[in-house]
């Protein structure tokens, strides 16, 4: 992406005005699966991303560049706000480095789950494709359901671990009492539970239609259940919490 394009994106982000009918903060605790979301027309994040596009498909390089620019502007805004509040940014950075060097057990479970599921899908690509093709002859609905289950597993396999890290590390100050941080932690905890439960449902369907993968699938189901229980322990409020609109 050339500098002229970067400036267009920055200008577009600065001048962006959200739709007054948008749902405040709905994107904070969503799964980022915009193409499946019925609320995207009322989502500020989705509108911002689309406002910077000039039509046509965007290359992966442009997409990553866009995300990088948004992150840079967001970080700058956060640092400006911290400075205004008199917070020592160097102290915050030191705490972040300390926390980053300690991997929590639940984080490791999420990271290992992602790695192992990704490798399993790669090893079973041929078998899963053959299975889908076989069912397409018998029942197109069943083949589509199998494809959907695989898409769900693919979509959430990395998100679960990433969101676990965000939820558990959302407040590096153990004695801090911040209502927003608590709300964010609970919202992310609920998102993790949703991602896990959708993955469990997808794997259950897959197990019933792909017998060759039963042993590995049972292992993944066990891991997902353990991660869900871990979230129940770490963020007990997330179990019964309902994200506005998304869980209605």
Stronger pLDDT, 166 or 70, i.e. the higher one: 166
The label of the residue with tokens 């990395």 reads 158
Mention every residue, 6+ apart, whose C-beta is less than 8 A from residue 43: 22, 23, 26, 27, 30, 34, 37
Instruction: Give percent of the chain above pLDDT 90.
Output: 57
Question: pTM score, two decimals?
Answer: 0.79
Task: Please give the Cα distance from 115 to 117 (Å, whole number).
Answer: 6
Whether the pLDDT of residue 128 is over 70: the answer is yes
Residue 215's H or E segment, with its range, is: helix 214-234
Q: Is 247 exposed, middle or buried (0-12, 13-18, 19+ CB in 10 A)?
A: exposed
Token pair belonging to 183: 């709300």
- Least confident range of 30-34, 62-66, 243-247: 62-66
Could you tell me the end-to-end alpha-carbon distance of the chain, in angstroms, rounded to an integer?
A: 40
Residue-level pLDDT at 197: 98
Token pair belonging to 173: 């100050």
**177 — phi, psi (to 5°)?**
-125, 85
21, 40, 166, 185, 237 from 74: Cα distances, Å: 23, 21, 16, 19, 28
Stronger pLDDT, 134 or 18, i.e. the higher one: 134
Residue-level pLDDT at 224: 98
């Amino acid at each position: 992406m050339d500098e002229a394009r970067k400036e267009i994106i920055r200008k577009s982000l600065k001048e962006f005005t959200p739709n007054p009918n948008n749902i405040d903060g709905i994107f904070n605790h969503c799964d980022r699966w915009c193409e499946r979301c019925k609320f995207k027309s009322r989502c500020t994040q989705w509108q911002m991303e689309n406002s910077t596009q000039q039509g046509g498909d965007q290359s992966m390089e442009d997409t990553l560049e866009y995300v990088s620019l948004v992150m840079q502007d967001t970080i700058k805004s956060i640092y400006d706000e911290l400075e205004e509040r008199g917070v020592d940014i160097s102290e915050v950075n030191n705490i972040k480095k300390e926390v980053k060097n300690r991997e929590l057990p639940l984080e490791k479970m999420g990271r290992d789950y992602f790695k192992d599921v990704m490798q399993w899908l790669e090893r079973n690509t041929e078998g899963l494709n053959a299975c889908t093709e076989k069912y397409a002859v018998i029942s197109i609905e069943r083949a589509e359901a199998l494809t959907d289950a695989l898409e769900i597993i693919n979509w959430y396999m990395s998100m679960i671990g990433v969101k676990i890290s965000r939820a558990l590390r959302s407040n590096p100050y153990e004695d801090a009492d911040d209502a927003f941080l608590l709300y964010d932690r609970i919202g992310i905890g609920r998102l993790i539970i949703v991602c896990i439960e959708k993955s469990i449902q997808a794997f259950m369907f897959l197990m019933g239609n792909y017998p060759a993968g039963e042993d590995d699938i049972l292992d993944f189901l066990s891991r997902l259940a353990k991660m869900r229980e871990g979230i129940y322990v770490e963020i007990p409020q997330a179990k019964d919490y309902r994200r506005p609109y998304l869980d209605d």
